[in-house]
């Protein structure tokens, strides 16, 4: 879900996210073209998604998982549309990629912060630790890829990328059981970061 993507990501399916984007392109592309006609810039969608997730995170901090989850669920398609809109508008730029990636990290972090505040408030120690582990794992998944690509390696592997984390967390919030999602995300996100670490290590020794 990015405003800009390297050519190899557009042309081939490296991740589950790429696969989903291609499957739903028949919906995303017409919507993106319509958004372009309205004169809405892709970064406007990106920041709208961030604001929406902040609102959802506040509701989570208050223990309102249903409405927080609904808002976060709605923000997912908006996040997908910013990249499609950038492609339709022909403004795929490094700046757009930077904005999108940065706001993605903020969005995910603020959602976890909302859960952290809630569990800390009710003294749910186990759930609080799970949130922290899930947050660390999620950030490391993104960091390992970004750092690897900055050094000329590929790190687009792993079982729990951002889309998978979203698909696990959003329904769990709607059913008022985010702890179930945390039990899944906390270990698998960290495992994904390790997978990427080992993937880069293999490339280094084989280059």
Rounded to the nearest 5°, which phi and psi values hold at 50?
Answer: -65, -45
Phi-psi region of 204 (alpha: psi -120 to 50; beta: other; left: phi over 0): alpha
CA distances from 129 to 60, 132, 183 (A): 16, 5, 10
Cβ atoms within 10 Å of 121's Cβ, excluding its own: 12
CA distance 150 to 169: 29
CA distance 83 to 61: 29
Active site residues: 104
């Amino acid at each position: 879900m990015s405003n800009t993507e390297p050519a190899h990501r557009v042309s081939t399916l490296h991740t589950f996210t790429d696969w989903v984007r291609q499957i739903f392109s028949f919906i995303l592309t017409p919507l993106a073209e319509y958004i372009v006609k309205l004169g809405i810039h892709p970064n406007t969608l990106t920041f709208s998604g961030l604001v929406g997730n902040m609102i959802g995170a506040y509701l989570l901090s208050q223990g309102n998982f249903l409405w927080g989850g609904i808002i976060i669920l709605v923000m997912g398609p908006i996040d997908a549309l910013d990249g499609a809109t950038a492609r339709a508008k022909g403004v795929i730029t490094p700046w757009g990629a930077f904005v999108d990636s940065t706001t993605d990290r903020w969005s995910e972090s603020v959602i976890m912060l909302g859960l952290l505040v809630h569990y800390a408030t009710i003294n749910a120690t186990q759930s609080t630790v799970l949130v922290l582990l899930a947050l660390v794992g999620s950030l490391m998944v993104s960091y390992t890829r970004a750092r690897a690509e900055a050094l000329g390696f590929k790190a687009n592997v792993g079982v729990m990328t951002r889309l998978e984390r979203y698909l696990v967390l959003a329904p769990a919030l709607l059913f008022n059981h985010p702890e179930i999602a945390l039990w899944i995300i906390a270990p698998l996100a960290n495992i994904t970061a390790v997978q990427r670490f080992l993937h880069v290590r293999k490339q280094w020794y084989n280059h």
